[in-house]
Chains A and B, each alone.
Chain A
């Protein structure tokens, strides 16, 4: 059994406007020591998924179904109290905005000490030493002095480091990073990405990185899951997704992005329209109103939801087009346009 396995996870929110199907049948597996990147546009369900794994929707109004298996234990059916005991030690999360995740009135050190002592029966003094160690490991200068600073006394990059130190302080086996660098400047982002890569190697944790930035995903991930409208539309290794993508939405993401490693092309190739409503999800393939290849499925895409099917060696695609057709389109129509003109 895999270290982490999601089976047909659904997380729906009843609202005044209707039922929001934020996550709608998501399945994937992840092993220790591997990094999964989850990409998708705003509102595609990335954060709801990660909060779901951590059990943070429990007790709210969310309707959750499906299964989440973590190291042999099922979490959807587990009690709120039980899942709470797993947070911190078994699994931890790095949020996009460190200020909202840290308490403004306590020093950074006290927050790490407290998190550590929940799971480890040690004296304050030992925990403090551990906190200083952790701050040093994530590259905070003069950690023995900085341990007594308040979050607002840190710069953005230092706060993000401190939060990573806090998340790692109990040596979690699963670490979820939700847009860990989106709020940071590019030079600081590069520092944090390096740090996360090093730490993952040292700690041998399973890492999920959530982002809308394909560059960040390419830097960190072994495997990549592309989400659209609450569903996985493509899953594969980094090479599958960047070298031989087969889903029209993935092609769209790649064509939308100006890239520093290529000649500046004359025009970008945007995806038309805008992301789908999660209340009135388009019929059939949720991507069909924006898809340039919809006509080639002979009307099927409008009425029938395509299944996520394996195309080759663990590479999964949710599209009605036959695999050979998709590969031909990628080779002949998409790829040549992405390469420099």
Chain B
């Protein structure tokens, strides 16, 4: 338990400036990631879920140092890499790799599969052309592609095969930590399952650690050991899979889970649903204090004034909410003690503006 995490993120922030006019005067900032902290242990899979624009991809790009953080700290294998120079970062760069969402645009259409997957070997200059070919074919086989595909071009492959090529390219670098950003969301269900199985097999064989970013809660449950839920640039809940899916504490997590359509026609009558009103507010101007209060059916006065800290409410289960659900020993007691001004926008009927 007290083994040092492979990756530790502390108070990480990314604010994108919003500029206006000829002089590019800064008029505001998109608070894409706004102070998040979490650890990833060696060999585990951490799932990162949340709705569009909540900052998942930005988090991934920060961890892989593709963009500079505005504040906070990233510690990889005990080393603070937050502001490490590109030169010093180079050996670590290979360790931490990202798999991208779009299997179509992330591969150079003019390069053969052999060139794409083999590039890391050539850059490292360690191998002869024969040796490279052999190594690449080995990796192609590992990801379930035919080694004879070596001289083919990306457009000759289906979406699932292209995603495999992207995974093969990533594996060629022998990474230890892989950030997979929506690795299956562009694929058909039948192909999604192939890629999900592949990622799981590779993890076992190559001792990989994953951060899997996805908006599909069923896929995330399937592959993750622990799951972090983001809302508007913040982590609102983080727990192991069982804790998060079986006793979710944050109202937003509860709403997300109950919104997932279940492929069982019988269940549509029985299921009790939480229906949120409105859309996710803009990260340009996020609601103060608890960012979820404009849509939360449990919101009270205090939620609009005091930001709830991310606190450990059960072993390994952290939640940022004043009135959590399913919290052991709390059982709604807190909620009863506070008489708020019922700013409960979630309870407002359809047709009124929740904002």
Nearest residue (CB) in B for A140 is B351
- Besides A41-B190, A187-B255, A252-B190, 19 other CB < 8 A contacts? A141-B355, A190-B273, A190-B275, A191-B275, A194-B275, A216-B261, A218-B265, A219-B261, A242-B263, A242-B265, A257-B193, A258-B222, A261-B264, A265-B222, A267-B200, A269-B193, A270-B194, A270-B197, A275-B188
**Which residues of chain A from 229 to 273 have a CB within 8 Å of any chain B CB?**
238-239, 242, 252-261, 264-265, 267-272
Contacts of A221 in B (CB 8 A): 265
Contact surface of B with A, Cβ cutoff 8 Å: 51-52, 158-161, 188-194, 196-197, 200, 215, 217-219, 221-222, 241, 245, 255-268, 273, 275-280, 350-355
Contacts of A216 in B (CB 8 A): 261
Q: Within 8 Å of chain B (Cβ to Cβ): is A193?
A: yes
Contacts of B255 in A (CB 8 A): 187
Which of A64-72, A101-109, A207-215 is the interface stretch? A207-215
Which residue of B196, B241, B257, B351 contacts A136 across the interface (Cβ within 8 Å)?
B351
In the assembled complex, 5 residue pairs joining A and B whose CB atoms fall closer than 8 Å, in A order, are A143-B351, A158-B279, A187-B255, A270-B193, A274-B191
With contact pairs A193-B261, A261-B264 given, residues A256 and B279 touching in the complex (Cβ less than 8 Å): no
With contact pairs A219-B268, A260-B262 given, residues A186 and B215 touching in the complex (Cβ less than 8 Å): yes
Contact with B along A158-202 (1 / 0, CB 8 A): 100000000000000000000000000111111101100000000
Find out whether the CB atom of A214 lies under 8 angstroms from the CB atom of B263.
yes
Q: Within 8 Å of chain B (Cβ to Cβ): is A155?
A: yes
Nearest residue (CB) in A for B188 is A41
Which residue of A42, A140, A268, A274 contacts B193 across the interface (Cβ within 8 Å)?
A268
Contacts of A271 in B (CB 8 A): 190, 193
Find out whether the CB atom of A261 lies under 8 angstroms from the CB atom of B267.
yes
Name the distance in Å between A5's Cβ and chain B's nearest Cβ: 24
A191 to B280, CA, bound (A): 13
Contacts of B263 in A (CB 8 A): 214-215, 217-218, 242, 254, 257, 259
Name the distance in Å between B234's Cβ and chain A's nearest Cβ: 16
Inter-chain contact count A-B, CB under 8 Å? Answer: 142
Which residue of A213, A238, A275 contacts B265 across the interface (Cβ within 8 Å)?
A238
Name the distance in Å between B324's Cβ and chain A's nearest Cβ: 19
Contacts of A268 in B (CB 8 A): 193, 196-197, 222
Find out whether the CB atom of A218 lies under 8 angstroms from the CB atom of B261.
yes
With contact pairs A194-B275, A255-B193, A257-B263 given, residues A141 and B353 touching in the complex (Cβ less than 8 Å): yes
Closest 7 CB pairs of A and B: A215-B261, A270-B193, A141-B353, A258-B222, A256-B193, A190-B259, A271-B190
Contacts of B188 in A (CB 8 A): 41-42, 212, 275
Which residue of A140, A212, A274 contacts B160 across the interface (Cβ within 8 Å)?
A274
A124 to B327, CA, bound (A): 56
A306 to B337, CA, bound (A): 67
Contacts of A238 in B (CB 8 A): 265
Q: Within 8 Å of chain B (Cβ to Cβ): is A156?
A: yes
A59 to B241, CA, bound (A): 54
Find out whether the CB atom of A260 lies under 8 angstroms from the CB atom of B275.
no
Contacts of B355 in A (CB 8 A): 141
Find out whether the CB atom of B189 lies under 8 angstroms from the CB atom of A187.
no
Q: Within 8 Å of chain B (Cβ to Cβ): is A52?
A: no
Find out whether the CB atom of A275 lies under 8 angstroms from the CB atom of B261.
no
Q: Within 8 Å of chain B (Cβ to Cβ): is A139?
A: yes
With contact pairs A155-B279, A214-B263, A238-B265 given, residues A258 and B196 touching in the complex (Cβ less than 8 Å): yes
Contacts of A269 in B (CB 8 A): 193
Nearest residue (CB) in B for A270 is B193
Nearest residue (CB) in B for A268 is B193
Find out whether the CB atom of B190 lies under 8 angstroms from the CB atom of A256.
yes
Find out whether the CB atom of A258 lies under 8 angstroms from the CB atom of B218.
yes
With contact pairs A186-B51, A191-B276 given, residues A218 and B221 touching in the complex (Cβ less than 8 Å): no
**Which residues of chain A from 275 to 303 have a CB within 8 Å of any chain B CB?**
275
Quick one: which of A191, A255, A269 has the most chain B CB within 10 A?
A191
Contacts of B221 in A (CB 8 A): 258, 260, 264
Nearest residue (CB) in B for A41 is B188
Find out whether the CB atom of B279 lies under 8 angstroms from the CB atom of A188.
yes
